[in-house]
Chains A and B, each alone.
Chain A
Amino acid sequence: MREETLEWHQIGADDAVPRLGARVVETAQGRVAVFRDGTGAVRAIDDACPHRGGPLSEGIVAGTEVSCPLHGMCISLIDGRAIEPDEGEVRVHPVRVVGGVIHLGLVPGARRAAGACSAVREAR
C-alpha cells in the first residue's frame, strides 16, 4: 500500500478510544474497527472476522490481539492475520495521530469488506 494513494480521514479525538477498547467507523468500504492495543498504539482493521464475519470491535483486546466475540478466533491488530493455528486475514488500515486527532487512511475505491454485519445491513 503506497502512502500517496491514501485518503486520510479525521475520525475522532485520540482519547475517544480507551486502552484495550475499540470504536467503530462507518465507511464506504464497510465498518472499520479502531483499537487501542496494550502498548497504547491505535490500530484499525476491518470490523469483520474472517471466520464468520463477527464484529471484531466487540472482542476482548489483549496485547496486540483481539479475540472475536462470536467464536473466539484471535486476530493480530498489527498485520490483520489470524493467530496460529487459525487461518484467515482481515484488511489493516493505516492510522496516525496528529495533534490529538486520530486519522484513518483509506484506499479510495477499495472493495468493501465482506462480513455478516455489513451483509445484513446492506440487505435492509
Chain B
Amino acid sequence: MSARPRLVFVGNGMAGTRALEELLELAPERYDVTVFGDEPHPAYNRILLSPLLAGEASEQEIIVHDRAWYEAHGVRLVSGCRVVAIDRGRRVAVADDGAETPFDRLVLATGASPIMLDIPGRELRGVVSFRSLRDVATMVEHARDGGRAVVIGGGLLGLEAAWGLLRRGMTVTVVHLLDQILERQLDRTASALLQRRLEAEGIAFRMEAETQAILGADRVTGARFSDGSTVGADLVVMAIGIRPNVALARGSSLPCERGVLVNDVMQTYDPRIYALGECVEHRGRTFGLVAPLFDQARVVANQLAEDGYFAYREQPMATRLKVTGIDTLSVGELSATPGAEEIVLSDASRGVYKKVVVREGKITGVVLFGDASDGGYFLDLMRDGVDVTPFRGELLLGRGFVEGAPAAGGEGARLLAAADETRICDCNGVCKATIVATIRAKGLTTLDAVKRHTKAGASCGACSPKVEALLEAVAGAAVERPAVAPMCGCTDLGHDEVRAAITSAGLDRIDAVMTALDWRTPDGCSRCRPALNYYLVCAFPDRPVDDPRSRVVNERVHANIQKDGTYSVVPRMFGGLTTAAELRAIADVVDKYAIPTVKVTGGQRVDLLGVKKEDLPAVWADLGRAGMVSGHAYGKALRTVKTCVGSEWCRYGVQDSTALGVALERMCWGAWAPHKVKLAVSGCPRNCAEATIKDFGVVAIDEGWELHVGGNGGIKVRATDVLCRVATAEAVMEHCGAFLQLYREEARYLERTAHWVERVGIELVRARVVEDAGGRATLHARFLASQAHAQVDPWAERAAGHDAHEFAPLARLADEPWAAE
C-alpha cells in the first residue's frame, strides 16, 4: 500500500481537471490520486460545446485528456461512476456501487446542473439542456433532418445553442422572458444591435414570452406560452441557467448556500476538503465562466502542493459570446449608475458599438459589439486601475490609436494631449501643464533638468518614465540622453565608472576621488557626496573613511528627521523579539522625555516619534542601559529582520524561523548598503513574515529553507525571485552574507535590491551566490570582515559624548524666549 497521502477528486470537469494538472505540475509525486467522473467520457472542455454544436470543432478536439494521460501520470480514473456520500468521520468517499475510497484530502468539483423549467412536457423526447456531450449529440441528431427548434433562454448559452442549431440547418426561435437578450452581459443598445444581427442571420425571437408548457404526446411538437400562443418545434433546448451541484456536500454536512461555501483558499468547512468551480460559493458569488475556475484551480493546486502562497481573489471577467463573426465583449458595469459616466462610440452602418463606463477617471465597465479587438486592452486598463482621463478622447479608437498616435507617439503624445491639470508627479504635486510649460519656457533637453526645474520625478521617481515621455513629446529630437547616466552634475562619469576608479586606484578620500576624476565642483554636491562616501565605506571597511558631512542628516545624527524637525528613534529588536525589561525601558524613556507618539512599525519594531534633537543622546543612553542598540531605521543599511514565531510555537511551523531571524540580524546589523535592506524569515510556506517582498527573504520548507531575493513592498510591489533552496541554517547565513556583500559591492548607491536584480538579472545573482561555491564563501568572508568594523553601536558612542556638537545649539542668546523655556 502506498505511503503517500491519498487525494480524491470528485468531479472530472474543467475545474477539477485543471486543478489536477496544476497540482501534477507543482508536486507530481506528493499524492496518490483518484479521480471520479460521473460522465462516461474522460474530461472534456465544456466551453467548446458551442463550437462542437456549430460544427466548428470535433469531439476529439474538445477532449482534454484521454485515458492514457491519466495512466501516464499515475492517476486512477474512475469514470461513469458517481460519488454518493463522503464519510468525513472515516474519511472515505462512497461510490454509487458501494465501493469506498479512503482519502486524506478531497477536492469537490461537482460542477452545476442546468436548470430545467418545471412545466408540463419537460420529460418529452426532444427536450434537452445544453450542458453535456450527450446533450450535443441529441441536438445534432435532431438537426440532421432540419426541422424546428425552440431555445428557451436568451442568455449566452441559449444564443450559442441557437446559433449552433441554425448552423446545423434548423429553423430556430429563441424565447426569452425579458424584453432584452443577454441582459446580464450587454446594455440595451448592444442587445438590440445583437438581436437585429441574429435576426438577419435567420433566428426568430419571441421576447417577453413565458413558456407555459411543452406540447406533444411522447415527442416534442411545440411549445405554448402564457398568452396562449404556440409555436411548433421538434426540439426544445432549455438554456435558462445553471444551479450548483451541492447535494453531495450538503449530505456530508458541509455548509452550503447556493453553492458549497469556501474560504479564500477554496477550503470548505472541513479543512481536508477543498471545492472549486461551478459548485462553490465564494464571498456570496457563484461562477459559470471558465476564467475564475482556472484561477481557483491554481489556488487549490497551490494549497495541495503545500506551497500555500495563493489566495483566490475575484477579478473582473470579460464575457464573450462565442458566435463566429459576431464580436461581443462585456465586463463590469454595463451602464453608468450615479457617479459614473459613459463614453460611447456608435457606428450603425458598420455595426460597431463601443461603450466604456468611467468612474473617477477609471474604467469600471466595457460593452463592445461588432468589434471587440480592443477588449483585452480595455480590460488591462480596468484591472490596472489606469486613469484614462488623459486620453479619453482617443480611448474608444483603441490601443493602436492611443499608443501609436501622432508624431512622437506613445505615452508622451497621450500625456501631451491630456488635460492640463493631469497630475504627473504625485509626490510633489506637479501637473502636466507645469511640466510642458517649463520645458518650453526654459528650453530643457534632459530629464535631469526637468526634474530640477519642476520637481516632477525628483522625489520617489516613480513618475520619471512619464516625465521623460512628456519631455520627448515636447522637445522631440533635441532631447539629450547620455549613454551613461552621470552620477550628478559634478561629473560626466556614471556610478560604475567612479566605483571602479575608487577600488582600482585605492582612492580612500572623497576629495582624492574628486581630484583624480576631475570633478567640476570643489566639494561635489548633495547627490554625489553621500554616494562617494558609501562607496568608500564599502571599499575600505577597515579605514576611517566615513565623512559625517557627506552623510544625509539621518545617518549623521542616527535618527530619522521628521517634518517638524524632531526625530524618531527605533531601537533594534533582533528578529522582532523583545523582553519585558526592554519594553519597560522604552516606556520609561517615553515618560521621561515626553515622547508624543509610540508606534509599532511594519518591520516589527517600536518607533518613538517626536524626540527633540537635544534629547537624543540621553534617550539613547537610557535605552542602551537596557541593552538596546540602534535599529538603523534611518539609514541606507540593514534595517530589520522580520520573523514569524515558527516551529517553536506555531502548529504549522516547520523550522525555527525566529532563531534564524535573530541569527541573521546579529550577523547583519550595522551593515551600510546602497539603500535600505530588509529581511524576513517565515517558518512555513504560509509566509506570515512576508518574506517574498523583502530584499532577502527566507521561507521554511519541510526539507530546509527556500531563499528569495529582490523583493520590495514599496512604491511598486515586486515579489522576490527564488534564489535557491538550502538544507541548513548555516547555509542560509552564508548565502545571505554573500548576497548582501554582492549587493553592497556592485549595486549603485540608492538602488534597492529589486532594481538591481532587475538590472543585472537574477541569473547573474544565482551564478555568483549559488553556483559558484568558492565565490560565495569569499563574498561571505568579505561581508563578515566588513562587519567586524561596522558593528559598533552609533547610539552608545553618541550617548558617551561622541559628536556632542551635533546635538546642542552653539549658543542660546540671552534675553530671548528660548533660554527661558
Q: Do A and B come from one complex?
A: yes
User: Do the beta carbons of A60 and B530 come within 8 Å of each other?
Assistant: yes
Q: Give, as a whole number of angstroms, the nearest-CB distance from B19 to chain A.
A: 52
Question: Which residues of B have CB within 8 Å of A106?
Answer: 813
Q: Which residue of A lies closest to B427 (CB)?
A: A71
Alpha-carbon distance A61/B554, docked complex (angstroms): 15
Q: Tell me which of B455, B557, B810 contacts A12 (CB under 8 A).
A: B810
Alpha-carbon distance A34/B459, docked complex (angstroms): 27
Q: Give, as a whole number of angstroms, the nearest-CB distance from B118 to chain A.
A: 71
Chain B residues with a Cβ closer than 8 Å to the other chain, count:
39
Interface residues in B509-538 (C-beta closer than 8 Å to A): 521-526, 529-530
Question: Which residues of A have CB within 8 Å of B563?
Answer: 52, 70, 116
Alpha-carbon distance A58/B556, docked complex (angstroms): 9
Alpha-carbon distance A17/B809, docked complex (angstroms): 11
Chain A residues with a Cβ closer than 8 Å to the other chain, count:
41
B 781-821 binary contact with A (CB < 8 Å = 1; else 0):
00000000000000000000000010001111101111100
User: Do the beta carbons of A85 and B442 come within 8 Å of each other?
Assistant: yes
User: Do the beta carbons of A28 and B549 come within 8 Å of each other?
Assistant: no
Q: A12-B810, A25-B809, A38-B523 are in contact. Are A120 and B549 (CB under 8 A)?
A: no
User: Do the beta carbons of B809 and A63 come within 8 Å of each other?
Assistant: no
Alpha-carbon distance A117/B453, docked complex (angstroms): 26
Q: A60-B552, A61-B549, A69-B553 are in contact. Are A26 and B565 (CB under 8 A)?
A: no
Q: Which residue of A lies closest to B564 (CB)?
A: A120
Question: Which residues of A have CB within 8 Å of B524?
Answer: 62
Question: Which residues of A have CB within 8 Å of B521?
Answer: 62-63
Alpha-carbon distance A119/B563, docked complex (angstroms): 12
User: Do the beta carbons of A120 and B809 come within 8 Å of each other?
Assistant: no
Q: Give, as a whole number of angstroms, the nearest-CB distance from A35 to chain B.
A: 11
Question: Which residues of A have CB within 8 Å of B529?
Answer: 60, 62
Question: Which residues of A have CB within 8 Å of B809?
Answer: 23-26, 31
Alpha-carbon distance A21/B810, docked complex (angstroms): 12
User: Do the beta carbons of B810 and A34 come within 8 Å of each other?
Assistant: yes
User: Do the beta carbons of B453 and A85 come within 8 Å of each other?
Assistant: yes
Is the CB of B458 closer than 8 A to any CB of chain A? yes
User: Do the beta carbons of A21 and B526 come within 8 Å of each other?
Assistant: no
Q: Give, as a whole number of angstroms, the nearest-CB distance from A43 to chain B.
A: 13
User: Do the beta carbons of A120 and B565 come within 8 Å of each other?
Assistant: yes
Q: Give, as a whole number of angstroms, the nearest-CB distance from A32 to chain B.
A: 9
Alpha-carbon distance A85/B444, docked complex (angstroms): 12
Alpha-carbon distance A28/B529, docked complex (angstroms): 34
User: Do the beta carbons of A25 and B553 come within 8 Å of each other?
Assistant: no
Is the CB of B416 closer than 8 A to any CB of chain A? no
Q: Give, as a whole number of angstroms, the nearest-CB distance from B439 to chain A.
A: 12
Question: Which residues of B have CB within 8 Å of A55?
Answer: 561, 565
Is the CB of A114 closer than 8 A to any CB of chain B? no
Q: Tell me which of B452, B453, B566, B810 contacts A120 (CB under 8 A).
A: B566
Question: Which residues of A have CB within 8 Å of B452?
Answer: 85
User: Do the beta carbons of A54 and B810 come within 8 Å of each other?
Assistant: no
Q: A16-B805, A52-B563, A85-B452 are in contact. Are A26 and B816 (CB under 8 A)?
A: yes
Residues on A lying within 8 angstroms of B by beta carbon are 9-12, 16-21, 23-28, 31, 34, 38, 52-55, 58-63, 67, 69-72, 74, 85, 106, 116-117, 119-120
CB pairs A–B below 8 angstroms (7 shown): A9-B813, A24-B810, A25-B811, A34-B810, A60-B530, A69-B552, A69-B554
Residues on B lying within 8 angstroms of A by beta carbon are 428, 438, 442, 452-453, 455, 458-459, 521-526, 529-530, 549-550, 552-554, 556-557, 561, 563-566, 805, 809-813, 815-819
